[in-house]
Amino acid sequence: MEFRYLPMTETDKKEMMGDIGISATDELFADIPEEVRLKRKMNLKAPANEAALKKELSDMAGKNANLKQYSSFLGAGVYDHFIPSIVDHVISRSEFYTAYTPYQPEISQGELQAIFEFQTMISELTGLPIANSSMYDGPTALAEAVTLSAGQTRKKKIIVSKTVHPEARAVIQTYAKGQHLEIIEANWKDGVTDLEELKRLLDVDVASVVVQYPNFFGQIEPLAEINELVKQQKKTMLITSSNPLALGFLTPPGELGADIVVGDTQVFGIPAQYGGPHCGYFATTEKLMRKMPGRLVGQTVDENGRRGFVLTLQAREQHIRRDKATSNICSNQALNALASSVAMSSLGKEGLGKMAKLNMNKARYMQKRLAEAGFYTAFTGAYFNEIVIKLSGSIADVNKQLLQKGFIGGYDLGNAYPELTNHMLIAITELRTKTEIEQFVKELGDIHGK
């Protein structure tokens, strides 16, 4: 048998055409003018049988540098973390793997409960009372938070710190164009948002201030001080993008005054996957819950008093008039949210805290070994699990040489920050061993000394 799934046979085709009253498939395109139809065969390779196709795809995939063969010190928003084996076992179950939209609660209680637990855990991590059932990814969630703040405050000016992930800032700019928002980027000083500049930029027309915690450089932003400045302006909101693993150790943004906290749960149970798909989260205050994008799962009871779960507060264009909708996002990352829920449940509160602390401890061991080798961090403030060092030459060249030694090097900050040319952002997670850290520093020293 050449195919895993049985294709349509010629007999099947003839029967279907007979049923709809045509003699050839070309008749299906009769309404398309002849002059715009393609008069030749498409320029595609000939179809292959399943075995040949699998081999071709495997050969192509083998060209990638994967995390099983290489030790990765690349973070910058996507991280190599421990994934409990139970995660794959649960999400591979057909009732979760094939489920899409749980519109029929009577047959979707398992998925709805899993999403409800996801919301609950995100709420606990962020320190805010309401969390939705997930977004497509962290940058999407952040851009949605910005548009929510503009709609809620009826203001058009947004201040975004330049220490926010550059790709997330690009998504915000894309959203802002359609909403006619003015995006003002605040500079940084010693790796964190420049508070003096933020003071100068803040005025009564600012809808929200956006910061990342920890920020793109791995530094811990002074959220309490930023919130104090923000809340001096009437109605201005504080939006925080946060790595949820770091919140297992750091003070939750909600407790420091943030109105909206978003981020990506890729750090919990979701492989790097060459950049996605991942899973965004969105948490906010009770005041804003009816403006929240996406969907929300609520807990209720049936007529017999038994606990049950349903979709609720769906302020989306799929359910209400488009001009009244808060977002055009009509779905969520249910499977990846489930993976994150299983991972967080498996770790537990204590395990999550220990995992966060391991990241911090190993990052500090890396910093110590780098200093001994003559490499010093660019910033002096508190940080989570990423550090920035300056090298004497091209980061791209260094990373090519590191790859030959079995290491995926850090992010080249010069790509997004011209002022940080020849600076490398290095991520150290709990999976990096003492031996890997020491060998990485040695190889970096050898390359740097050439």
Is residue 279 within 8 A of residue 131, CB to CB? The reply is: no
DSSP track, 292-349:
-SS-EEEEEE-TTS-EEEEEE---BTTTS-GGG-SBS-----HHHHHHHHHHHHHHHH
Residue 327: the pLDDT is 74
pLDDT over 60 (residue 266):
yes
- Residues 219-235 have a mean pLDDT of 96
Share of the chain above pLDDT 90, in %: 73
Q: pTM of the full predicted structure?
A: 0.89
Residue 1: the pLDDT is 42
Residue 388: the pLDDT is 98
Is residue 191 within 8 A of residue 378, CB to CB? The reply is: yes
- Residues 62-89 have a mean pLDDT of 94
Q: How far apart are CA 428 and CA 230, in angstroms?
A: 32
Q: What does the pLDDT look like over 336-346, one tens digit per residue?
A: 999 999 999 99
Mean pLDDT (the chain, rounded): 92
- Residues 152-172 have a mean pLDDT of 97
- Residues 410-436 have a mean pLDDT of 97
Residue 9: the pLDDT is 83
Pairing type for strands 411-412 and 192-193 reads: unpaired
Residue 221: the pLDDT is 98
pLDDT over 70 (residue 64):
yes
Q: What does the pLDDT look like over 106-157, one tens digit per residue?
A: 778 888 898 999 999 999 999 999 999 999 999 999 999 999 999 999 999 9
pLDDT over 70 (residue 442):
yes
- Residues 304-333 have a mean pLDDT of 72
Burial class (CB in 10 A: 0-12, 13-18, 19+), 290: exposed
Residue 129: the pLDDT is 97
Which domains are assigned to the chain?
Answer: 71-83+349-448 (3.90.1150.10), 86-343 (3.40.640.10)
368: Cβ–Cβ under 8 A, 6 or more apart, which residues?
A: none
Give the confidence band of 71 by pLDDT, cuts at 50, 70, 90. very high
Bridge partners of 280? 135, 264
Q: Which residues of 378-398 are buried (b: 16+ CB within 10 A; e: fewer)?
A: bbeeebbbbbbbebeeebeeb
Q: What does the pLDDT look like over 386-409, one tens digit per residue?
A: 999 999 999 999 999 999 999 999
Q: Helix (H, G, I), strand (E, B), or coil: what is residue 219?
A: strand
